Amino acid sequence: MKGKFITVEGTEGVGKTTNIQCIASWLDERGIAYISTREPGGTALGEKIRGLLLDKENTGMAASAELLLMFAARAQHLEEKIIPALEVGTWVLCDRFTDATYAYQGFGRGLNLEHIKRLEALVQGDLHPDFTLILDIDPELGMSRVRARGELDRFESEALEFFDRVRAGYRERASDNPSRYCLVDASSPLAVVQEHIVAALNAFVGGAE
Ligand code: T5A
């Protein structure tokens, strides 16, 4: 029996890290075995690539180089960690995955979505998340949370218009495929956000049974 693949997405400061803990508790309560991981990163090689991608010194990185680095990290992550876990029935909870590539490199940077689709097919074959939670927030509010936390990385240093495009990309993907995505308003108080998340997870397992 294969494990389920859950991903969490959204623009900066939307509360992914905070809400992944809520999903982890929900899995623990049900005695479901899982691993929690992230992109870019998740493996030794992937974390090195993450360092390159987030380093503010790499200001001149070409958008296509950024795209290829995302998929290079993902290829390693899939082979080394995600696929082996799913194959033994372990669930995978991943902080960002390919939806982030469509949203950031496609909608944000303006790269051709068909090129992303081809790289997705090359690296993933027909493997896609079973359930994707998109935390939705006005980027201005998200960035005020990020700024309160400290120094900004290369992505966080982008202009607000960039994140408006990224947000629009996520929303478009969610509305195109409502059976896989759940869009939650992340500007509400945390307790309300988490009520929605738990309801969505219950509906997902109810539907998956
Ligand atoms: N990227 C990634 C791409 O461009 N393409 C790709 O394919 C992939 C995979 C790194 C970057 O890589 C880019 C996108 C990213 O820019 P990341 O580490 O996931 O990805 O980056 P961030 O989005 O910056 O992740 P963060 O950890 O910084 O933000 P989170 O996890 O969304 O936010 P979190 O949980 O740390 O919360 C931020 C603050 O808000 C508070 C929290 O307590 C915290 O202080 N908060 C709330 N406050 C009030 N009300 C609520 N409801 C709150 N929820 C959280």
Contacts of 129 (CB under 8 A, 6+ apart): 5, 6, 7, 94, 97, 99, 180
Tokens of 149: 């936390």
Give 204 Cα–ligand 1 centroid separation in angstroms. 23
Helices 16-29, 190-208: inter-axial angle, 10-degree rounding = 50
Which amino acid does the sequence have at 180? R
Tokens of 136: 């939705």
Give 209 Cα–ligand 1 centroid separation in angstroms. 31
pLDDT at 208: 62
Residue located nearest, by CA, to atom 47 of ligand 1: 15
Residue located nearest, by CA, to atom 37 of ligand 1: 15
Task: Round to the nearest angstrom and report the end-to-end CA distance of the chain.
Answer: 13
The span from the CA of 20 to the CA of 160, in Å, is: 25
The span from the CA of 123 to the CA of 127, in Å, is: 9
Give the number of domains in the chain.
Answer: 1
Pair 131, 182: CB distance under 8 Å: yes
Dihedral sign, CA of 160, 51, 4, 36? negative
- Structural domain including 82 reads 5-208
What is the tens place of the pLDDT at every residue in 97-145?
Answer: 999 999 999 999 999 999 999 999 999 999 999 999 999 999 999 999 9
Least confident of 100-104, 128-132, 194-198, 205-209: 205-209
Confidence of residue 206 (pLDDT cuts 50, 70, 90): confident
What is the tens place of the pLDDT at every residue in 79-93?
Answer: 999 999 999 999 999
Give 179 Cα–ligand 1 centroid separation in angstroms. 24
Tokens of 82: 């995600």
List all residues whose CB is within 6 A of at least one atom of ligand 1: 10, 12-18, 39-40, 70, 95-96, 100-101, 104-105, 145-146, 149, 155-156, 186, 189-190, 193
The span from the CA of 79 to the CA of 194, in Å, is: 32
Give 40 Cα–ligand 1 centroid separation in angstroms. 13
* Torsion angle of C-alpha atoms 7, 72, 169, 178, degrees rounded to 10: -40
CATH code of the domain in which 26 resides: 3.40.50.300
